[in-house]
Amino acid sequence: MQLGPYTLPNPWILAPMAGVSERPFRRLAREMGAAATPTELVSCKGLMQGQGRSEKYLDHDAAEDPFWVQLFGGEIESMAAGAERAVELGAKIIDINMGCPVRKVTKNGAGSALLREPARAAALVEAMGKRTGVPITVKIRSGWSEESITMVEVTRAVADAGAVAIAMHARTREQGYSGTANWVQIRELVEASPIPVIGNGDAFTPTLARRMLDETGCAAVMIGRGAMGNPWIFEQLAREAEEPTPAGRWTVVRRHLLDHIEHIGDELRGIRNFRPHLAWYSHGLSHASRFRARVMTVTDLAELLELGEGFFAGALRAKGAVRAPIETKQALG
């Protein structure tokens, strides 16, 4: 798949997920075989105002080239200025979030609120492209509601404004993450879109991700909840690797934990912040509920490492069990 001057090595992309797609997890996904790992959604206003917290989201490794940053906002000037700052901090591709369903985002005219205003969505793409000169991509949902399916109208508008690709989560804003993603809509958008379409929604396993690619004709598949606590999904897709052994699983979890603490810069805050990741890593394994209960109370790193090693050494997925989708209230971009 081509994004401006950049060619992705395969069609498997990590979705931009708030609280998940931080630098340490993006690094793991890349090493496992993900072709690209966009950042979680970052406030353009925060970047424009030079807020350290917003700029921290743009910490990245050289191996992430081309570094793909997802931005959100609703005001044309602040989005253009924020995009310019993102490029100064290393962004090579800018993605505009037009799919986030969370009210605190949509009430300000950002995220999926833009699905109701194709002209404003196009104006954002044009302004950000002119200001930065880098490829602009867009992430949308199928529409605001079942009565307002605007995916084709929005896609054509942003393509005319210069967007080089569009990712579509095949649910409406009203659905949130409930129900089932409508892959038929991905195929319909592929047929109507003048730019490459990246499919997103319910690609929880390698089998489902390959099915989405085959059944919809999309150029690539963006994997969200299927990768939470499971970066191995990219290794299985890109290299046809086997399910990790217990020892191999713990090696990755331990490294992710230590990298995460280093990234946060504070041991206690890093441990607390990493607890959801440990819950996701244990998802579907034996005695996971007991492990999660223990994890929520541990504040000492040595104790947590001992607990994790003991759990993952003995925790196996039940024979024949399928990894179920993770239910989460996380804002998944």
Q: Which of 8, 17, 100, 233 is catalytic?
A: 100
In a 10 Å sphere around its CB, with 0-12 CB exposed, 13-18 middle and 19+ buried, how is residue 162 labelled?
middle
| Two structure tokens written together for 26 | 């993006």
Cα–Cα separations (whole angstroms), residue 302 to 129, 235, 249, 276: 48, 29, 19, 18
Query: Which two three-digit tokens encode residue 231?
Result: 């970066």
Cβ(17)–Cβ(309) under 8 Å?
no
Which one, of 281, 284, 285, lies nearest residue 304 by Cα? 281
Distance between CA atoms of residues 116 and 111, nearest Å: 10
| Cα–Cα distance for residue pair 227/22, rounded to 1 Å | 13
Block residue for tokens 């890349």: 30
Active site residue 100: yes
DSSP string, 68-84: EEEEE-S-HHHHHHHHH
> C-alpha dihedral over 79, 82, 84, 88, to 10 degrees?
-160
* Residue 74 near residue 108 (C-beta atoms within 8 A): yes
CA 41 to the chain's CA centroid:
9
Catalytic residues: 100
